[in-house]
Amino acid sequence: MRLGNKVALITGAASGIGRETALLFAEQGAAVAAVDLNEAAVTALVAEIADAGGRAVPVIADVSTAPGCEHMVAMTEQTFGRLDVLFNNAGIMLSDDGDAISTDEGVWDRTMEVNAKGVYLGCKYGIPAILRSGGGSVINTASFVAVVGAATPQLAYTASKGAVLALTRELAVVHARQGVRVNALCPGPLRTELLMKFLDTEEKRQRRLVHVPMGRFGEAREMADAALFLASDESSYVTGTEFLVDGGLTAAYVTPE
């Protein structure tokens, strides 16, 4: 059990990366606080974990608000007594997110509220809980677009993930000697509902896929496997990283300094 005796809080747990990670973490011995706004889906997930012999609790919370993040951390500690792993994974990608000219201010604001502010608030309330447990791991979901930009314009999303990457680096430095590791998981293009709704035509999908050396979209389970490494003690000397799991995309397009 790679996460035996650990307690993990996962936001955006009802679908995609969050769901696969919750299932995997529970399988690997962690008690899981599964956080989402979709009550029916997250409750079903927790039931699935329980049926497989794992431990989990559903938590309904809006990560874009301070009360929501304070509540999810409090519920985790009340239920399981501690917090060892915080996976700030919840995120949105709005279909009308485009370039600077076409993107509405409301799209920008909402994307930032969830994707960037949600990570900040998760850390604000989650890191003190991890410190109370004697240390642990924070994983923030960023994206390959924070490194190279997106071929199909999604300015608000890209900027929000750049913010997550910068926030991750700074918190990693701040908390490095307190036993709290902070890393950014940067997925490449995935075959998830979130991205497929955005890439809603074959032309858009091929425009994204042509940049991936492996020639395919990644799967949510592959991101869960990467998150498992960052959550476990196997990554005990890893902090402040942009952990790119992208099918080689950035290797093909980022020029070394």
> pLDDT-derived band of residue 256, with 50, 70 and 90 as boundaries?
low
b/e sequence 24-63, b meaning 16+ C-beta within 10 Å:
bbbbbbbbbbbbbbeeebbeebbeebeeeebbbbbbbbbb
pLDDT at residue 257, rounded to an integer:
53
Q: Give the domain ranges of the chain.
A: 7-244
SS3 label, residue 210: coil
What are the backbone dihedrals phi and psi of residue 15, each rounded to the nearest 5 degrees, phi first?
Answer: -155, 170
Is the pLDDT at 248 greater than 70? The verdict is yes
Q: Locate 10 and state its tokens.
A: 């996962």
For residues 189-193, give the mean pLDDT.
Answer: 84
pLDDT digits (tens, 9 = 90+) for 193-232: 777 777 788 888 887 788 899 988 999 999 999 999 999 9
What is the pLDDT of the chain when averaged over all its residues?
95
CA 198 from chain centre, in angstroms, equals 18
Residues 6 or more apart whose CB falls under 8 angstroms from that of 236 comprise 181
The fold for domain 7-244 equals Rossmann fold (3.40.50)
Q: Known catalytic residues? A: 157
Give the C-alpha separation, 133 to 146, whole Å: 31
Average pLDDT, stretch 58-63?
98
Per-residue model confidence as pLDDT tens digits over 15-49: 999 999 999 999 999 999 999 999 999 999 999 99
